[in-house]
Amino acid sequence: MAKVYNWHLGRSMHYPYEEKHPKSQFVAVFNINRCIACQTCTMACKSTWTFSKGQEHMWWNNVETKPYGGYPQFWDVKLLKLLREADPGGQTWAPHGKGAEAPYGEFEGRTIFEAAPDGEAALGYLPEDKEWRFPNLYEDTSTRYLNPGVMGFSKEGERLPEHKTWFFYLQRLCNHCTYPACLAACPRKALYKRPEDGIVLLDQNRCRGYRKCMLACPYKKTIHNTETRITEKCVACYPRIEGRDPLSQGQPMETRCMAVCPGQIRLQGLVKLGRGGKWAEDRYNPLYYLVRVAKVALPLYPQFGTEPNVYYIPPRWVPRDYLRQMFGPGVDQAIERYAHPDRELLAVLQLFRKSQLILFRYEIQKGPKVFETLRNGKKFELYDDLIIGYGKDGREIVRTRVEEPLYMRPKERLNSI
């Protein structure tokens, strides 16, 4: 196996192929705190890509209720158990080594590649057919719901920082990983990572349905078509990314699942990669800012080792131990930052879902202070700053303010909706 650098782990790791990186990388940030589990994203993907025979169980995008939900069922619990058995007591993080290329510290344990059994590219498992049957089992099931007689709420009420009774929604799609396990495992070399944008695609002409990718993908995001007997996966709506959607007039456009989100929790775009696959300094790209500067958005299960490119702003109310296992050691800092946002973070958060076009740069023009209060004992000031977002060609796409505008309904329409 070759040695490659994984900045989520803060160290080099083993991977079956030599390091090779695209010019830019498809990246998304999801704000879990705002998701309402409406499944609009899920249905947008389904109605665009997976409505044919043999694709009935295919949900390239799904939203599951944690801690019990998962599609396929218990996908993460099962892999975490396998990793714990392969690396007893080893799945820990060392706090040292923090810096630009190790922002979360250093992972001391073994990744799925390093814990791979002989003859396999990665440690994994093949879900049984029955585990694909219910895409949203345990929806809205809180931690106490399973205790008889408690009915999912705490009599004492809930308080931050951690609720005693809790659940949250986890939005999932292929992470278009930097080191894809699906690609590493495919004996037919049917999976490839595009050099222009890092999107991971599956060539259906090469695939023979061996399902090695399904076994290896830790997120279980390649799915077998029961009619064609070959495997399929999220295509990152690549025609939209390429600006080929007629609506975009040639400009890169966000994917279907991102663009439809009524909760306004999703922001997706492209980040530039420099030498060795490092994120090139691009301070005013909103995704670069959220992940690398504010560090408010974190990778899902970074310890698996694939360097996933979908990042999550963790939910504020969930027990920290659970979140640290899911998003790594950056959780406490990310929640602190989100709970006490500064002017810049508040402004950038306004860009979510203001346009279907991909934003490549933002600019903030300072406005007046409009509000001041104490939040968890800390002073909080709200400024009505103006934030402007620009597209690939430098054209202005979005212009919005931090303070939500108030619209007065005209008198003659007072009763209309």
* Closest distance to ligand SF4 from the beta carbon of 384 (Å): 26
Nearest to 360 by CA among 244, 270, 257, 267: 270
Alpha helices in 50-117 (DSSP H): 75-86
- Considering the rule CB under 6 A, would residue 359 count as an interface residue with ligand SF4? no
Phi, psi of 183 (to 5 degrees): -65, -40
* Closest distance to ligand SF4 from the beta carbon of 359 (Å): 17
Indicate the SS3 state at residue 341: coil
Which of 9, 27, 37, 207 binds ligand SF4 (CB under 6 A)? It is: 37
Site for ligand SF4 in 178-217 (CB under 6 A): 180-182, 200, 217
* Closest distance to ligand SF4 from the beta carbon of 281 (Å): 25
- Considering the rule CB under 6 A, would residue 241 count as an interface residue with ligand SF4? no
* Closest distance to ligand SF4 from the beta carbon of 31 (Å): 9
Nearest to 140 by CA among 150, 148, 152: 152
* Closest distance to ligand SF4 from the beta carbon of 140 (Å): 12
- Considering the rule CB under 6 A, would residue 261 count as an interface residue with ligand SF4? yes
Burial 109-127 (b: 16+ CB within 10 A, else e): bbbbbbbbeeebbbbbbeb
Name the residue nearer to ligand SF4 (CB basis): 190 or 261.
Answer: 261
- Secondary structure element (H or E) that encloses residue 24, with its range: strand 24-31
Name the residue nearer to ligand SF4 (CB basis): 26 or 383.
Answer: 26
* Closest distance to ligand SF4 from the beta carbon of 65 (Å): 11
Which of the ranges 244-252, 260-268, 339-347, 354-362 carries the binding residues for ligand SF4, by CB under 6 A?
260-268
* Closest distance to ligand SF4 from the beta carbon of 298 (Å): 16
Write the CA distances from 75 to 81, 131, 214, 349, integer angstroms.
Answer: 10, 9, 11, 31
Q: What is the DSSP string of 349-413?
A: HTTTTS-SBPP-EEEEE---EEEEEEETTEEEEEE--EEEEE-TTS-EEEEEESSPP--PPPGGG
- Considering the rule CB under 6 A, would residue 27 count as an interface residue with ligand SF4? no
Which of 253, 257, 297, 346 binds ligand SF4 (CB under 6 A)? It is: 257
Which of the ranges 148-156, 228-236, 366-374, 376-384 carries the binding residues for ligand SF4, by CB under 6 A?
228-236
Q: Which structure tokens are listed for 5?
A: 């650098």
Question: Which residue minimizes CB distance to ligand SF4?
Answer: 263
Alpha helices in 15-150 (DSSP H): 40-49, 75-86
Query: What is the size of the binding site for ligand SF4 (CB under 6 A)?
Result: 42
Q: How far apart are CA 236 and CA 90, in angstroms?
A: 34
* Closest distance to ligand SF4 from the beta carbon of 159 (Å): 25
Nearest to 12 by CA among 153, 111, 138: 111
- Considering the rule CB under 6 A, would residue 292 count as an interface residue with ligand SF4? no
Q: What count of other Cβ atoms lies within 10 Å of the Cβ of residue 320? A: 13
* Closest distance to ligand SF4 from the beta carbon of 35 (Å): 3
- Considering the rule CB under 6 A, would residue 247 count as an interface residue with ligand SF4? no
- Considering the rule CB under 6 A, would residue 60 count as an interface residue with ligand SF4? yes
- 339 and 313 in contact (C-beta within 8 Å)? no
- 389 and 350 in contact (C-beta within 8 Å)? no
Give contact residues for ligand SF4 (rule: CB under 6 A): 35-41, 44-45, 48-49, 60-61, 63, 171, 173-177, 180-182, 200, 217, 219, 221-222, 233-237, 255-257, 261-263, 265-266, 306
